[in-house]
Amino acid sequence: MIIVFKPNISRKEEAAVLKEIKRLGYRPHIMRGVARTVVGAIGDELTHQSLESLITQFPGAVESVMPVQKRFKLVSREAHPANSTITVNGNVIGGRKVQIMAGPCSVESEKQLLTTAKAVKAAGATILRGGAFKPRTSPYQFQGLGKRGLKLLAKARRETGLAVITELLSEDHAGLVAEYADILQIGARNAQNFQLLIAAARTGKPVLLKRGLSMRIEEWLLAGEYVLSNDNPNLMFCERGIRTFETYTRNTLDLSTIPIIKQESHCPVVVDPSQGCGRADLVRTMCNGAVAMGADALLIEVHPNPAEALSDGAQQLSLDSFRQLMSELRPFIAAAGRE
Amino acid sequence: MIIVFKPNISRKEEAAVLKEIKRLGYRPHIMRGVARTVVGAIGDELTHQSLESLITQFPGAVESVMPVQKRFKLVSREAHPANSTITVNGNVIGGRKVQIMAGPCSVESEKQLLTTAKAVKAAGATILRGGAFKPRTSPYQFQGLGKRGLKLLAKARRETGLAVITELLSEDHAGLVAEYADILQIGARNAQNFQLLIAAARTGKPVLLKRGLSMRIEEWLLAGEYVLSNDNPNLMFCERGIRTFETYTRNTLDLSTIPIIKQESHCPVVVDPSQGCGRADLVRTMCNGAVAMGADALLIEVHPNPAEALSDGAQQLSLDSFRQLMSELRPFIAAAGRE
Amino acid sequence: MIIVFKPNISRKEEAAVLKEIKRLGYRPHIMRGVARTVVGAIGDELTHQSLESLITQFPGAVESVMPVQKRFKLVSREAHPANSTITVNGNVIGGRKVQIMAGPCSVESEKQLLTTAKAVKAAGATILRGGAFKPRTSPYQFQGLGKRGLKLLAKARRETGLAVITELLSEDHAGLVAEYADILQIGARNAQNFQLLIAAARTGKPVLLKRGLSMRIEEWLLAGEYVLSNDNPNLMFCERGIRTFETYTRNTLDLSTIPIIKQESHCPVVVDPSQGCGRADLVRTMCNGAVAMGADALLIEVHPNPAEALSDGAQQLSLDSFRQLMSELRPFIAAAGRE
Amino acid sequence: MIIVFKPNISRKEEAAVLKEIKRLGYRPHIMRGVARTVVGAIGDELTHQSLESLITQFPGAVESVMPVQKRFKLVSREAHPANSTITVNGNVIGGRKVQIMAGPCSVESEKQLLTTAKAVKAAGATILRGGAFKPRTSPYQFQGLGKRGLKLLAKARRETGLAVITELLSEDHAGLVAEYADILQIGARNAQNFQLLIAAARTGKPVLLKRGLSMRIEEWLLAGEYVLSNDNPNLMFCERGIRTFETYTRNTLDLSTIPIIKQESHCPVVVDPSQGCGRADLVRTMCNGAVAMGADALLIEVHPNPAEALSDGAQQLSLDSFRQLMSELRPFIAAAGRE
């Protein structure tokens, strides 16, 4: 930790702060600069008390306290310099091939799901998405088919060979959902629901962790740390847009997270342009950008009839639009040196 | 719903949109304006499909779709014109008296908790706060004493007569926490963890719902609706700051929510300036403002020795500072016509 | 400056960074911690080159670079420990008395302005606000009466004895506006229009600097530094809300800036709840809070007939509502120990 | 405008609102829905008074007021369905070729500028950027070489044949800067400095308008409208990131603006990844994404020795990195069907 003193404090005040730093287990190291005196408090920040309360305790003497260590470990590139890959149903996420996860926002019926699954598979997708348990802003909105939805996903997997990703909403469902799904999705609203992250990790299934609505990248990495530190190495980060003041889009898709997560972490990066923009007409262009910037996979909402969708109709692509997107995406995948 | 057409669309396109509106259960009503044609789609928005996907379905014809109904019902003033009050251990929240909830961020030891409890009671607090289960950004931070913390809170209640508020983190703990607490707190990171809201509501205990880090007021009211619609009328909203770009404070405490929630809802409003600013030196002033603006209660972090706190030391008041705050607050409480 | 090295870098890389630090005029001071090596670069940050480009220059070696000095000087409490006061037309801003600045958003006509001026004076205001040059989001909106508006403001001053505050939009108008106004207002959209700040400072008139829409407090203080460093000591900071994702209010009024600016700076703090919320029905409550928290003055929009206002009708108070506000404010002013 | 009534208002209140709507020049049209009564106020919103003050005027009766018209005209696709192109020194911006604007953040010396100009030209850039007048957060930072900087830019143009883009900071410099520059840049902090926009437009030179730090897309388009409505058709929009809570990057580059501006407007779209991220190591990847998503030009900061840069060293590329970027960009330009 670095402690910056206010200018013109007395030696007595200084001594009191140094004594407190020692009491909290750090070794203080003073540097007298031109305009400020600074103390380096030497000790492992991950195992010692934070010194941030020195500001409160010595309001006349301490101006600021700055940590110097990164707080995440297992998700970091330092811990695992090579890219991690996750194999799901024979498909490698994080390898040379850009994987496409596609399907409806919610599982609504057998016909809706199977029609979509067959169409997205034909167009090149390898993983089927579909919500069985849906987190809805209002209790009066459609909450998903629950277990029946999971069974339909399993049926679609049997009939198409696609792997299945679906959202886990509740600790109590972890075992149930893991029984039917190949990847467990943790949604943006639960990105810091740490109990749920632990429950998901413990199923042993790969976990896709969406970024929270106003989550800093460091917090996202630390939330991922909850998965890896619970003995599950198969974690993907999924950018899905952050909340800003903009009203043209539902969220602001922050594509800079692709190179940043790649730099800080070894885990694969997935981009969800459907949630990210909330507008089907922008999905195609956002996918081109995501692939050009190095995304390992895309998560795309597709519905046979978006106007009748029981959730988020405005952001789901029709089957035709999805086919077109897949064909337009090809040159960008090639330009990125991927398959 | 209001549907705005793009300029210069053909009658054929118009007819197709109108047909779709009818198919989805609404009765369309056309208004031809000077620069735009607008359709009022008549039908209950809470029970019908959203029409927002019309933008996707008819990209050349539909410019925007706007809902006209409010989506919350039970939390609204319309549903319950008088102020709701919640009685906890004989203390009325939402009545004439401004209630003070105070105590440490985390329960750390019997001595720490009892010292604090006695001091805050002596200074005028009526409710004791203290975290037994702590949601922490990193898995390597102190996670709370768990059940032992709950038992210490119960002991402090017995010894001081203070009511107890503590955070509920996990659906699986709902029964356990409800056994020991008088009020269940739902934290900012779980504000849209709907399964947890339902579990909390079903315990029958009063629920204090913190605002999420980037939660719109409408979403907050709808999250509250999950509590009331699960047969628990005892809900408080607690403003604790939103995340912005500002770095001087940990969050930006949005005091305008006090009059807005009072206008839109009948439920009591609590303000948490400790989390709101993340800085003990601002708490006193923020409390003065909150009380002047009509807050029904304050939630304040107090610790016998903030520098040694196992969590959030920088924002906890010492016992002395808390006493001083309580005495300075008095004229503002009087000015607001409260006790 | 503090430079944090990445873990496990070679002595050779370390030496290269140290050499560069010296070349840029700083004296490096190494601290070897448990998990990181940190360098204190000793030298005045205000006169030397920033070292932030070391991250770019040595991407494999340098993890982060942190400044330790505050960048503002003349506006800081350190430079001027006592509160500054500004006297305008005999009214002291920053003294014991809370000053009320009130009047229409735009000057629209003689009748509108004089009616308002007399009414706000009768209710206790001492300074008349009114826009003659208006910055409007669209070029098709009313842009203000210009010079004619200034003349009407001067007339209202003669007839009522109120001082006058009005916005300066253009460097080219600085002389003209200063001729008619007692205080020059710099609007939120121009808060980092540094040429305008310099031009305003050079008129010698007191300057009220609104906070920009997404301005950090440090940037605001530095923008104020442009005024003081151009030989004008009469600066006020005016909080008027920041832009967030919330849609219930036009902006989020950040009242925590009152104690923070008071702590960091000696300049008076003004609060504008009209712009801050964009809703007349919230103005009264926001004023109560602002005064309780130590605001030196309030800036309130008042119009004889808000519905006919040529700009921002939704946020202007009627004359009656303003009178009521002034009377309700009294106990809070007293509670704050002000007049 | 659409006016939504509160539920259960009396016919008398309704009549009063309708009368006021008529008085303000609109023709009201009532629709009685299931849960709400809605009024369409028919009349041109661009020439009539806004009705938003009805909420203030009739707080018991009016719940919300929503505009239905877009407020921008000349910048809109409706006004000019084909893409606009701007020809600068023989280079077409907005055509098939992706134009590269590159050069130092600030012009610092003849050697620095000419070295950079020759290098970026050799690598394929067609337009030279370089700040002569610099807007700096602090008055103590380097403010640019001013007129001498402009002369150096002109010299670089003569020697290399590159066109020149440089920032205009002050209305008073409009004539001077226009004499030396081929494109006038309006910076983010001046994006709603409407007097400056007008002054820039009137020089007749092409204008590049950066997005403000927290500017909504609609406001950006309206700021552009100030240029076109002052008889200057040569406008480019330049995305440079918005301010969010994220701290890994200086700003959050919002690449979704590329397809959105293309959809709403006919003007070319430029992307500035240097300001957008504030980190040289992310520029290359952001450029790949921007080009894949349809950007017409890129604005990139390049410096022969970033560590010695007098401004923003952390975000400037070295000459080598720039060359590498240009070569890596090629396949993405081809994939986008551009040159």
How do residues C57-96 score in pLDDT, each as one tens digit? 787 888 888 887 888 899 999 889 999 999 999 999 999 9
% of chain A at pLDDT higher than 90: 69
Region D121-125: mean pLDDT is 98
For C243, the closest of A7, A33, A245 (CB atoms) is: A245
Q: Do C2 and A38 touch (CB under 8 A)?
A: yes
* Residue C313 pLDDT exceeds 80: no
Query: Which stretches within chain A are classed as H helix?
Result: 11-23, 54-57, 110-123, 147-160, 174-180, 194-202, 217-228, 257-264, 273-277, 280-292, 319-335
Closest residue, chain D, to A290 (C-alpha): D289
More confident residue, D157 or A276: D157
- How far A264 CA lies from chain D's nearest CA (Å)? 11
Does B71 contact chain A (CB < 8 Å)? Answer: yes
| Interface test mutation site (partner C, options D193, D226, D300, D316, max chain C beta carbons within 10 A) | D193
Q: Which site among A1, A37, A46, A68 would you substitute to test the C interface, given the most C Cβ atoms closer than 10 Å to its Cβ?
A: A68
C78 and A7: CB-CB below 8 Å? yes
Closest residue on chain B to C331 (Cα): B335
D102 vs C247, which has greater pLDDT? D102
pLDDT number for residue A174: 97
Distance between CA atoms of residues D318 and D280, nearest Å: 9
Neighbours of D262 (CB within 10 A): 20
Q: CB contact, 8 Å: A252 with chain B? A: no
Q: Does D24 touch chain C (CB under 8 A)?
A: yes
Mutation target among A20, A56, A235 for the B interface, most CBs of B within 10 A: A56
Helix, strand, coil shares of chain A, percent, nearest 5, are 40, 20, 40
Q: How confident is the model at residue B44 (pLDDT cuts 50, 70, 90)?
A: confident
Q: Which of the pair, D5 or A293, is modelled with greater confidence?
A: A293
pLDDT at A71 over 90: no
* Model pLDDT for residues A209-238, shown as the tens digit of each residue: 999 999 999 999 999 999 999 999 999 999
Q: Tell me if chain D has a CB within 8 Å of the CB of A30.
A: no
Q: Is A213 in CB contact (< 8 Å) with chain D?
A: no
Q: What is the per-residue pLDDT across A130-144, written as a single tens digit (0 to 9) for each?
A: 999 999 888 888 889
pLDDT for residue A66: 83
* Cβ <8 Å between A246 and D242: yes
Q: pLDDT tens for residues C207-262?
A: 999 999 999 999 999 999 999 999 999 999 999 999 999 988 999 999 999 999 99
| Distance from C-alpha of C155 to C-alpha of C118, rounded to nearest angstrom | 12
Q: pTM value?
A: 0.94
The pLDDT of residue C6 is: 87
pLDDT at A31: 84
Is D256 at the interface with chain C, CB within 8 A? no
pLDDT at A310 over 90: no
In the block, residue with structure tokens 């998901």: A200
Q: Rg of the Cα trace of chain D?
A: 24
Running DSSP on this structure, what letter comes out for residue D304? S
Contact C2 A68 (CB under 8 A): yes
How close, in Å, is residue A311 to chain C by CA atoms?
22
Residue A256 contacts D, CB cutoff 8 Å: yes
Q: Quickly state the pLDDT bin for B262 (edges 50, 70, 90).
A: very high
Distance, CA of B169 to CA of B193 (rounded, Å): 10
pLDDT(C171) > 80: yes
Q: What residue of A is the nearest CA neighbor of D215?
A: A246
A82 and chain C in contact, CB less than 8 A: no
Chain C residue numbers with beta carbons less than 8 Å from the beta carbon of A68 are: 2, 4, 33, 36, 38, 64
Q: Could you tell me if A291 lies within 8 Å of chain D, comparing CB atoms? A: yes
Interface-testing mutation among D31, D69, D263, with chain B (most B C-beta atoms within 10 A): D31
pLDDT in tens, A151-172: 999 999 999 999 999 999 999 9
Q: Which residue in this structure is represented by tokens 């039970």?
A: B74
Asked if pLDDT for residue A29 goes beyond 80, the answer is yes
Give the containing element (helix H, strand E) for C184.
Answer: strand C183-186
Min CA distance, C263 vs chain A (Å)?
Answer: 11
pLDDT tens digit sequence for D225-274 = 999 999 999 999 999 999 999 988 999 999 999 999 999 999 999 999 99
Between CA B135 and CA C325 the distance in angstroms is 42
**Looking at chain C, which residue has its C-alpha nearest residue B258?**
C285
Best residue of D48, D50, D105, D137 to probe chain C, by most C CBs closer than 10 Å: D137
pLDDT for B223:
97
Out of A245, A258, A282, closest to residue D285 by CB: A258
pLDDT number for residue B312: 78
Does residue D127 register a pLDDT over 90? yes
B25 pLDDT above the threshold of 90: no
What is the average pLDDT score of chain C? 93
Mean pLDDT of chain B: 93
Alpha carbon of B35: minimum distance to chain A alpha carbons (Å) = 21
CB contact under 8 A, C247 and B216: yes
Which residues of chain A lie closer than 8 angstroms to B72, CB-CB? 138
CA distance D191 to chain B (A): 19
Q: Can you give the pLDDT at residue C24? A: 85
Q: Which runs of consecutive H residues, i.e. helices, occur in chain C? A: 11-23, 54-57, 110-123, 147-160, 174-180, 194-202, 217-228, 257-264, 273-277, 280-292, 319-335
pLDDT of the residue at B34? 78
- Check residue D57 and give its pLDDT: 77
Spatial distance between the Cα atoms of D309 and A268, rounded to a whole number of angstroms: 35
Say yes or no for a CB contact (<8 Å) between C255 and B259: no
Identify residue C48 by its one-letter amino acid code: H
Does residue C277 sit at the B interface (CB-CB below 8 Å)? yes
- CB nearest D31 (choices: B29, B32, B63): B29
Cβ of D43 and B34 within 8 Å?
A: yes
Whole-angstrom Cα distance, residue C339 to residue B332? Answer: 15
Please judge whether B193 and A193 are an interchain contact, meaning their C-beta atoms are less than 8 angstroms apart. yes
pLDDT surpassing 90 at residue C320 = yes
Three-class secondary structure of residue C157 per DSSP: helix
pLDDT for residue B313: 75
Contact between chains at C259 and B292 (C-beta distance less than 8 A): no
| Alpha carbon separation from C55 to A7, A259, A335, C50, D282 (Å, rounded) | 28, 16, 29, 11, 12
Instruction: Tell me the percentage of chain C whose pLDDT exceeds 90.
Output: 69
pLDDT at D65: 86
pLDDT at C242: 97
Q: Do B52 and A314 touch (CB under 8 A)?
A: yes
User: pLDDT at residue D50 above 80?
Assistant: no
Mean pLDDT of C190-208: 97
Chain D hits for A291, CB-CB cut-off 8 Å, are 292
ipTM over 0.90: yes
| CB proximity list for A183: less than 8 A, separation 6 or greater | A88, A127, A163, A164, A165, A166, A205, A206, A207, A208, A236
Q: Give A316's DSSP letter.
A: P
CB pairs under 8 A between C and D: 143
Mean pLDDT, rounded, of chain D: 93
pLDDT over 90 at B310, yes or no? no
The answer to whether residue D33 neighbours chain B at the CB level (below 8 Å) is: yes
Partners for A (CB, 8 Å, 3+ pairs)?
B, C, D
By mean pLDDT, which of A54-58, B40-44, B161-165 is the weakest? A54-58
Whether residue D47 is predicted with pLDDT greater than 80 in this model: the reply is no
Contacts of C among chains (3+ CB pairs under 8 A): A, B, D
pLDDT of residue D158: 97
Say if residue C14's pLDDT is above 80: yes
pLDDT at C278: 85
Per-residue pLDDT at D62 exceeds 90 = no
A42-46, A201-205, C143-147, C298-302: the lowest-pLDDT one: A42-46
Contacts of C138 in chain D (CB under 8 A): 71-72, 222, 225
D30 part of contact set with chain B, CB < 8 Å: no
Whether residue B218 lies within 8 A of chain D, CB to CB, comes out as no
Q: What are phi and psi of A229, to 5 degrees?
A: -75, -5
Interface test with A, best of D256, D257, D260, D269 (most A CBs within 10 A): D256
Average pLDDT, chain A: 93
pLDDT value, residue A62: 87
Contact (CB, 8 A) for C251 and C219: no
Q: Residue C2 — pLDDT band, cuts 50, 70, 90?
A: confident
| Residue in A38, A64, A69 nearest the CB of C35 | A69
Q: Could you give the CA distance from residue D75 to residue D123 in angstroms, rounded to a whole number?
A: 33
Question: Which of B3, B5, B30, B34 to mutate against chain D (most D CBs within 10 Å)?
Answer: B34
Question: How many Cβ contacts (< 8 angstroms) between chains B and C?
Answer: 120
SS (H, E, C) chain B: CEEEECCCCCHHHHHHHHHHHHHCCCEEEEEECCCCEEEEEECCCCCCCCCCCHHHHCCCCEEEEECCCCCCCCCECCCCCCCCCEEECCEEECCCCCEEEEECCECCCHHHHHHHHHHHHHHCCCEEECECCCCCCCCCCCCCCCHHHHHHHHHHHHHHCCEEEEECCCHHHHHHHHHHCCEEEECHHHCCCHHHHHHHHHCCCCEEEECCCCCCHHHHHHHHHHHHCCCCCCEEEEECCECCCCCCCCCECCCCHHHHHHHHECCCEEECHHHHHCCHHHHHHHHHHHHHCCCCEEEEEECCCHHHCCCCHHHCECHHHHHHHHHHHHHHHHHCCCC
